[in-house]
Structure 1
Amino acid sequence: MARRSLVVTLVAVIAGSLLIAPGANAQPPEDYCRQQCHDVLPPGQNGNATFAELVSHMLLGTRPKHSDDQLGRYDALAGGYRELTTGTIQRFFNDHSFGVRPDDVERTYRPRADVTVVRDKTAGVPHVYGDTRSGTTFGAGYTTAEDKLFLMDALRHAGRGEITPFAGGAPANRELEQSFFSASPYTAEELQDQIDRVAAQGERGRMALQDAQSYVDGINAYIQESHRGRYFPGEYVATGHVDPVTNEGRIEPFQLTDLVVLASLIGAQFGGGGGGEVQNAVARMSLHERFGPERGEQVWAAFRSENDPEAISTVHDGRSFEYGNAPANPGGAALPDPGSVADQQLVFDPTGSATQPDEKPSRPVVDPDDPLRGIFDDGVLPADMAERRGMSNALVVSGAHTESGHPVAVFGPQTGYFSPQLLTLQELQGPGISSKGASFAGLSFYTLLGRGQDYSWSATTASQDMIDTYAVELCSPDGGPVTEDSNSYRFHGECLPMQTIERRNAWKPNLGDDTPEGSYRLVSFRTRYGPVTHRATVDGDPVAYTTARSTFLHEVDSIIGFQKFNDPSAVSSAEDFQRAAHDINYTFNWFYADSRDTAYFNSGANVVRRPHVDPSMPIVSDPAHEWPGWDPETNTATYQPFAEHPHSVNQDYYISWNNKQAPGTAGDRAEKGAVQRGDLLDRRVREQITSGDEFNRAELVRAMADAAITDLRAERVLPDLLRVIGEPDERSKPLVDELRAWLADGGKRTETSPGSRSYAHAGAIELLDAWWPLLVRGEFEPAVGTAAYRAMTAMMQINESPSGWQNGEPGLHVGQGHQGSTFQFGWFGQVSKDIRAVLGEQVPGGFGAPLCGGGDLGACRQMLLDTLAQAAATPSEETYPGDADCDPGDQWCADSIVQNEVGGIEQDKISWQNRPTYQQVIEFPAHR
């Protein structure tokens, strides 16, 4: 009898309150989308697995329910988009309507008396209905923890620079904690200060604090219940936090400051722009040394593509929005002496495994005799996560160009591919909150990207420059010798000590992990101008280069804008939405659609700079060059007003793929030039509108999907390369014919048939993959010299291909493939401009005299033929060198998308496609 009581009790705890009637408000409001909204988020909503489920997965390949049920429909679009109609969208996307149909209810429960949760059968998404506002956000925290507790826990430790004590000292974990700690090295007091400042921002600030606290309460309620009931994520057992037999151990409760940490992590990853000024300076100086100041500056300007006249812009209505450009006569630059730049040391006193060199980790191979071996051997988070940013796209067409007369949108963020996914799906309905969509796990008390009752919104990373590098003069408090290692600096006439922020991290092996124990100290050196990133000399004097970021100490400020997005009383028009977006200080491109209007707004804490300052170069640190109105105590300054941010309402169409925001707005890197992946979207939408053909939802999805499987280099650059080659010699004719046949078929990287795992035109694709790094090097290195070429490749990789970054050295891959998002970074526009100049065309914003072949068409043609022959002779195993996921030479596998495991559940590979991770298809036929 006692045994039966125990079982009944456990079932009751695990099942929640299935027998409790839902609250009175467990009904969605009127849905103005009328079943014309859809979305998808692979691999699946559920990211939690018990220890028993982890073992079953490793031994039998089973996966927890709803952990992979969106992966197949996401994958299928690449091969099935040509036949897609408005009637078949549901084959590739979920129903994005409010509420749950009665026949689709999987379970209903109440984690607290004032909130009801309904889970749907289709995807396991939680639909949260709060009788009170507190109940709504409590339910959001509880359900997010149900789905992604371990992921949230891993992310908060990574953001604090403390992932190794939590999950082990694998190289991937070390790389992550070092990256995020160096970007946001906050003290506990600074984290709390961010909360206090937001809470002081009037009624909305006070409400945001209450919402966040209820959310944390919901997370902690699930932690307590799941620990007591032994159905918490099994990774806590594998990492040694909970004993699998006695259940002894601890899952640390969440605090409000953890949300600040997560906001800092996500903001650094997806919402920043700028930095890299030291690398810019080295590259620019190397060109000046090679060519002299005048010609060197011309080559630098063309390569930098700061305001390329050929670059497409999201805003194309004739207006210009000036921001981030170099002045005509810049002053105050602090350029390093040649050869003097060194990275700031971050790791100190390593012991044990911390003394071993951090090789790029590979994914684990499961040992069937030890099913847990390998789950955490390569780190709980992928090392390349910190390198990802600027990956999303949007297509929005005004109702003036649609069949229905209502706007149509296909948009979403590209947050990388993870198992479980960093984003989580939800519907939130309660007093002052009505939304459905996606949020980052751990920040989901509001929907960050999704829809309201009669409107929808999404974002792409904008990356305008809101980070500056200042060179602070080093000094000695006692008047002694000053070197680059000195840890005091001059600030407004005083010699001040640098502030040091430390993490002392030690780790032990996880279950099944043979990584030995280790430890180290992480130390960030901070000045009033921000963390130190490099040491160098300027005109012989020792300096430290520091990163001044406008969102530093202010990551939580954006909460007010997101709160408004979720509030139906705050957003009832395109203009309301733009004003709410202006409250977000991260650099995002925001897109909006309802039944009548479309809108765009570029958000960000855009600092106003002195008119003589060049933001792309390091700056002298003194009041004459600081941000106007800058307060070093609070890191606040004077910012651009609403009207000066790129914005628009009801333009004929908007596209964004991290391309240029508007004429006059400079990018933070050299990729927003004459050829950019946004061209693939722009051409498809613009040509259809120009022809007078109207869009429906299916046609806009098809335009996106067609661009998603197209090789940017093939569509935009290869035709001009073949023009230079002209009629090939006998040796090259078969190769050129193969490339031309691929081009005639659209230059796409697509399977011969869905699921075949082999490409149509496989030979031509491999040929271009091998050729591109060779031709870029052959085109530029002889002209600019080895030193300048290497400095520029350090500033921006020449090629972000689906299988990884190839940087011009034969057989050398830099970075990691399998990420889906591709062709953002690369010398695509630079090659295009130079090749067209060789052909005799007038090229706006070009290099002046062509560089390829020394400006001689014949010599350039010969270089292309020689490197093409070299590419054809390159073994497949060298072009696709293989990794833990793929055998050498396996082309499809090298391109394939792999869901990076944040824990123990592995997913199947899917074919490459270049599209958002979370994606909405939207058309509202009605409005409030």
Structure 2
Amino acid sequence: MGRGSRGRAALAATVTVLASGLAASAAAAGVLQAEGVLPPGQSGFVSLAGLTSGTGSPHLYDQNQMYIDFRRKPLLFQIDRPVGAVETPRPGVTIARDAAGVPAVRAGNEADAWFGAGYAIAQDRLFQLEAFRHATKGRLAELTGSGALADDLVSRRDYYTESERQRMYERLSPRLKTRILAYRDGINAWIDRVRLSPADLPAEYVATATLPTPWTVDDSIAVGIFLARTVPSGDGNELANLRTVQQSGVRALQQLLPLRTTGRRPTIPAADADFSQGRARTAREERDALKRSAAFAQTLPRPSAVAAAAPARKAGLAPGRIGRTGGSYMFAVRRKDGHAFLFNGPQLGFSTPELFVEVEVHWPGHDLRGVTAPGIPVIGIGHNGKVAWGFTSGLSDEDDLYAEKLVPGKPETYIYKGQERQMECRDETFQFKNLAAAVLGGGLPEAGQRTERICRTVHGPVQHREGDVAYARRYAIWMRDVETLEGIVALNDAASIRDVDRAMNLVTWNENVMAADSQGNIGYWHPGLFQQRPKGWDDRLPYPGTGEAEWPGLVDRTRTPRVINPKQGWLANWNNVPTRSWTNGDGESPERVSGAFHRGSFLMDLVRRLHRAPDFEAAKATVQRAGSTAQQRVLAVTRTRLRAAARGATGDAKVVLDTILRWDGDYVRTDARGTIDPGVATWLELKRRAAAIALGRLGDGVKRFDGTPSRSHEYDISPGAAYALRTLKPAELRTAAAAAHGALAERFGTADASAWRDPRKLYDVGAQGAGSAPDLPFFDRGTWEQVIELGP
């Protein structure tokens, strides 16, 4: 049976699962246990008095030690437990805060409830709101200085003008518009209070010589658009792939970035369903497409190293730290008695304060608790008493790069369908200043402006020019980003897994969603807007912009990957592919090409064991194991020739391989001096040496495949190291081990492997304001964590 036939049969099976696989219990049910943690704390408020010390609210850092100790606070509704003092920002709206400072808003109607939410979030994160609206409109340099100009250019170039945002807002439902307006009014009520009360003014306003101005609907829309585009995914790697093909040939691309990597494990079990991104291509069609694209690649100018690295920079340095796609993980497990367990740990990079803020909102018939990004009136991740849900970045390829052939002598004219076309271009002026450096460091204020020319073609914004080619990116979500808010509102309303399924047909972003309901059902969705691939061209390289490689359309949102109540009884995702036939695309998520060594495989093994005897404490133990173990060390024992290499090893190579095999992968456990197991440094060095051997065979164009893992996954594996572990023979691994021994002996000043102990690694905690980032030992864990049990 061909891949397309298998996909159609599996899809039919999935429809059956979605229609009839739901638990039948109608008994009263709900959230039975719920715990979570948001390090370093709920608040971002630094007082004027605390400007130089980074102090202010008692809830700036109060969850940090809790997180380090793998403890969490209750996430049940505050109505079920004692709360602190109650505030009434206007008649009919009350705000109570628990011991962690988390606000619970109660009101008699939906608009008043979201007014209260806006007011409470502004209390906690007013300057973060300021930074977000500047960043998402390409004005961050006005607050922080010229260092933000590159990010501001991306924001204005690849996103929208104010009039375009207004058109998107006008298409929203009356209900969502009312909610956005009420949320705006709540923020502004607190701003009015702050302008009359200097003690409540965040210190960052003094440092930047600004004052809070009224929040607008456009501010919320800009933040919502940015989150919908950048948190789920980033731009593609077509230019980097083009450079690889031109330097090292098609074989290098096929070896290191295949469309499907051997040994990879999808979230949706093959026994339940299979999906492809539009029409599935045969193996022959894929080979022909690569041959055609490779030939076209040879006609294009070679991209510079800087241009090839630009998409990675964009994904890792999103303006204002919004949308840093470090990864995320989640799992759901069913128990035979109708209970279900859900965990979610979104990994968006730790900072003071965090991207997320907690809030609880109640109005008649609606109860919500969870986290959201300041600026948008929805609960992003959380529960409503009947359903709990979580997100991870989908990281699928929902955009493509088009090589536009420029007309000689006309830099803003290109050829499309045999005709000359004029780009849509405009000049954008960027202001910058940095008074914060002068206030805090005694330096001189910085100020100035820069004007940039921004252009679009029929395919989208022009992101790069090289010779006679302009590269324009086409986004499947273009001008539909804000529709995702409608889907999240429907998700917040869901009373069952079936309701979640309907809500996922409304979102346009590519966040993986996992949910569990109070009747013991679990489900997973890989939703959003995806382009159907042009049949004759390869996913990994730029398409010609001449009109011969256009998308046939978008994938029907009801046919995006999803499953409810899989036969195995559990689900797990750590940014791995959603389903068997899904391709790696252009490698926008480089770790996906690691195949059997992807961190998702490690999580799946843990969750499969949890499913044998699932309970709340066992779920928390699973999280602790996942967040403190170098995943690939565990996977390498059973999925490589590591043991075979050790059996034949002698001398230095034997010392290295035996040290790794004795180590259980834990990088948290320390000795009296605060140093970690020697297996950590030994494993890292072996991976580097093995990758050097394997990649050395493929030419200079593949060096990027041995890049550094993201700061959320410091002990993760690079594509190059994964390729080495898949392909090197035992003798070659012994050669790598011997080289690793020499490097380690030199670094530590001894050949005694027991002394190869590094200090416990600290996480790189950033700052989104004047808060002083506390020390945080490294864990491969969520920025926010929730563990929830639901049942009758």
For the aligned pair, the TM-score class normalised by the smaller chain equals 0.7 to 0.9
- Residue 27 of structure 1 aligns with which residue? none
| Contact kept? 2:689, 2:737, Cα under 8 Å | no
1:187 matched residue in structure 2: 161
CA drift at 1:903: 1.0
Counterpart CA distance in 1 for 2:304 and 2:399 is 20
- Alpha-carbon deviation of 1:344? 9.8
Amino acid at match of 1:394: M
Question: Structure 1 residue aligned with 2:94, among 116, 123, 129?
Answer: 116
Which of residues 251, 256, 273 is equivalent to 2:217? 256
Alpha carbons of structure 1 residues 267 and 35: separation in structure 2 relative to 1, 3 Å: same
In 1, distance between residues paired with 2:228 and 2:237? 17
Q: Does 1:217 align with 2:185?
A: yes
Asked if 1:533 is matched to 2:399, the reply is no
Structure 1 residues 324-359: Cα deviation after superposition (integer angstroms, max 9, x where no partner): 7774222873425475325899xxxxxxxxxxxxxx
Note the 1:452-601 alignment, pairs <5 A.
452-475=384-407, 481=409, 486-492=411-417, 493-510=419-436, 511-513=439-441, 514=443, 516-536=446-466, 542-567=468-493, 571-595=494-518, 596-601=520-525
Mapped pair 1:626 → 2:550: yes
Q: Which moved further from structure 2: 453-462 or 511-520?
A: 511-520
Task: Find the counterpart in structure 2 of residue 789 from structure 1.
Answer: 702
After TM superposition, list the pairs within 5 Å mapping 1:640-719 onto structure 2: 640-651=556-567, 652-668=569-585, 669=587, 670-672=590-592, 673-689=595-611, 693-717=612-636
What's the secondary structure of 2:596's corresponding residue? coil
Post-superposition CA distance 1:670-695 (Å, at most 9, x none): 42222100111111222454xxx311
Q: Deviations over 1:831-863 (max 9, x none)?
A: 22213xx35xxxxxxxxxxxxxxxxx4xx2453
Q: Please tell me the root mean square deviation across aligned C-alpha atoms, in Å.
A: 2.9
- The 1:32/1:906 distance shift into structure 2, 3 A limit, reads farther
Q: Which residue of 324, 331, 346 maps to 1:395?
A: 331
Question: Following the alignment from structure 1 to structure 2, what is the Cα–Cα distance between the partners of residues 312 and 191?
Answer: 39
Match of 1:85 in 2: none
Write the distance in 1 (CA, Å) between the matches of 2:448 and 2:746. Answer: 41
Q: Select 2:266's aligned residue among 270, 291, 313.
A: 313
Q: Secondary structure at the match of 2:89?
A: strand
Determine the structure 1 residue equivalent to 2:21.
Answer: none
Alignment match, 2:230: 269
- Distance in 1 (CA, whole Å) between partners of 2:42 and 2:535 is 49
**Aligned twin of 2:726:** 833
Mapped contact 2:676–2:757 kept (Cα < 8 A):
no
| Equivalent residue, structure 1, for 2:137 | 160
1:105 equivalent in alignment to 2:83? yes
8 Å Cα contact 2:402/2:473 also seen in 1: yes
**Unpaired segments ≥5 residues, structure 2:** 1-26, 308-312, 750-755
Gap change, CA 1:234 and 1:474, over 3 Å in 2: same
Residue 149 of structure 1: aligned partner: 126
Alpha-carbon offset, residue 900 of structure 1: 1.1
From 48, 52, 55, the counterpart of 1:51:
48
| CA deviation after TM superposition for structure 1 residue 44, in Å | 0.7
SS in 1 for 2:60: coil
SS in 2 for 1:52: coil
Distance 1:34 1:729, change over 3 A: closer
The residue aligned with 2:203 is 234
SS in 1 for 2:395: coil
Q: How does 1:844-863 map to 2 (within 5 A)?
A: 857=731, 860-861=732-733, 863=735
Q: Is the 8 A contact 2:343 2:390 kept in 1?
A: no
8 A Cα contact 1:179 1:386, kept in partner: no
Do 1:31 and 1:97's aligned partners in 2 also have CA atoms closer than 8 Å?
no
* Corresponding residue of 1:811: none
- In structure 2, the residue matched to 1:449 is 381
Does residue 429 in structure 1 map to residue 398 in structure 2? no
1:494 Cα deviation after fit:
3.1
Contact 2:143-2:208 within 8 A present in 1 as well? yes
User: Identity of paired residues, percent?
Assistant: 22
Query: Is the 2:32–2:791 contact (alpha carbons within 8 Å) kept by the matching residues of 1?
Result: no
Q: 1:699 to 1:451 in 2, by over 3 A?
A: same
Residue 737 and residue 823 in structure 1: after superposition, are their counterparts in 2 closer, same or farther (change >3 A)? closer
Residue in 2 that maps onto 1:280: 241
Q: 1:139 to 1:869 in 2, by over 3 A?
A: same
Match of 1:901 in 2: 767
CA distance in 2, matches of 1:305, 1:461: 21
Distance in structure 1 (CA, Å) of the matches to 2:136 and 2:758:
35
Q: Deviations over 1:852-882 (max 9, x none)?
A: xxxxx4xx245314421332144269xxxxx
- Secondary structure of the 2:165 match is helix
Secondary structure of 1:702's match? helix
Contact 2:402 2:545 in 1 (8 A): yes
Cα distance in 1 for residues equivalent to 2:423 and 2:156: 20
Per the TM alignment, residue 176 of structure 1 is displaced from its structure 2 partner at its CA by: 3.5
Q: Could you tell me which amino acid in structure 1 is paired with residue 736 of structure 2? A: L
Cα deviations across residues 500-537 of structure 1 (Å, max 9, x unaligned)?
A: 35132231432134264443234432222111122235
- Shift in Å, 1:182: 4.2
Aligned to 1:639, the other structure's residue is in SS state coil
CA distance in 1, matches of 2:208, 2:187: 20
Q: Which residue of 1 is the match for residue 4 of structure 2?
A: none
**What is the aligned counterpart of 1:416 among 349, 364, 367?**
349
Instruction: Describe the shift of the 1:336–1:263 C-alpha distance in structure 2 as closer, same or farther (beyond 3 A).
Output: farther
Q: Is the 8 A contact 2:137 2:155 kept in 1?
A: yes
Structure 1 consecutive aligned stretches of length 4 or more whose deviation exceeds 6 Å: 381-384
Structure 1 residue identity aligned to 2:723: Q
Contact 2:691 2:721 in 1 (8 A): no
Displacement after TM superposition at 1:823 (Å): 2.0
**Conserved in 2, the CA contact under 8 Å of 1:138 and 1:218?**
yes
Distance 1:301 1:218 in 2: 54
Task: Report how far residue 316 of structure 1 moved.
Answer: 0.6
Decide whether aligned partners of structure 1 residues 625 and 517 sit closer, same or farther in structure 2, where only a CA change above 3 A counts: same
The higher radius of gyration belongs to 1
Name the CA distance, whole Å, in 2 between partners of 1:101 and 1:676: 41
Name the structure 2 match of 1:64. Answer: 57
Give the secondary structure class of the aligned counterpart of 1:681.
Answer: helix
1:427 Cα shift? 0.8
The superposition leaves residues 555-590 of structure 1 with CA deviations (integer Å, 9 ceiling, x where unpaired) of 2111111111222xxx22212101102211111111
Letter in 2 for 1:638: L
State the AA in 2 paired with 1:448. G
SS in 1 for 2:779: coil
Deviation at 1:406, TM superposition (A): 0.8
User: Which of 34, 38, 41 is the equivalent residue of 2:38?
Assistant: 41
Q: Point out the structure with the larger helix share.
A: 2
User: For the structure 1 residues 890 and 338, does the alpha-carbon distance in structure 2 shift closer, same or farther, using more than 3 Å as the test?
Assistant: farther
Offset of 1:598 from its aligned partner?
0.5
Q: Which runs of 5+ in 1 are unaligned?
A: 1-29, 78-91, 199-204, 242-249, 289-295, 346-359, 361-380, 629-636, 806-816, 840-856, 878-888
1:16 matched to which residue of 2?
none
Mapped to 1, the partners of 2:144 and 2:28 lie a distance apart of 43
Letter in 2 for 1:301: Q
Report the counterpart of residue 323 of structure 1 in structure 2: 277
Shift in Å, 1:737 = 3.2
Q: CA deviation at 1:383?
A: 7.8
Q: CA deviation at 1:420?
A: 0.6
- Counterpart in the other structure of 2:759: 892
